[in-house]
Amino acid sequence: MDILQIVCIGIVAVVLSVTIKQQKPEIALQVSIATGLLIFILIVVKLTSVIEFIKTFSRKADIDAAYIGILLKIVGIAYIAEFGAEVCKDAGESSIASKIELAGKVTIVILAVPIISSLLDLVVKLMP
C-alpha cells in the first residue's frame, strides 16, 4: 500500500503547487522540492531491503564483494545526481541540471577507473 501513499503525496503536492504557482511561484518550487525529498526518503528506505538481498545473494554465490560495493556506490551517486538534476529542471534551471548530471557522470567514471584498469590487467595477463 506504500505505492498508494506515494502517489497520493505526489498528487496532493501537484495540486498545491499548481494552485500556489499563480500567486507565489517560489513557494510552489519549495513544495515540489519537499515532496521530491519525501518520496525519495520513502523509496530509499525500501531500497535498503533490496540492497541487503543482493548482498546476501552475492555472498551465497561467493562473488567478490568489491564488484557489489562499486555497483552500490554507482547506483547511489546516480540517484543523488538525478534527484538534484530533476529539482533544478523543475525550477527552470536546466543548465545547472546538466552540470549536476555531468558531475555525476564524472564521479561514476572515477569510481569505474579501477575496474577498467583491472580489466586491462586481466587481458594483458591472458595473453601468452
Per CB under 8 A, residues contacting other proteins are 47, 50, 54, 57-58, 61-64, 66-68, 70-71, 74-75, 77-79, 81-83, 85, 101, 104-105, 108-119, 121-123, 125-126
Q: Is the CB of residue 68 less than 8 Å from the CB of residue 58?
A: yes
Nearer to other proteins, 28 or 100 (CB): 100
Return the amino acid letter for 8: C
Nearer to other proteins, 12 or 75 (CB): 75
What type of residue is 110? I
Least gap, CB of 20 to other proteins (angstroms): 27
**Using CA atoms, how far apart are residues 120 and 94, in angstroms rounded to an integer?**
37
The least distance separating other proteins from the CB of residue 116, rounded to whole angstroms, comes to 6
HEC assignment per residue over 58-85: HHHCCCCHHHHHHHHHHHHHHHHHHHHH
Residue 22 or 62 with smaller CB distance to other proteins: 62
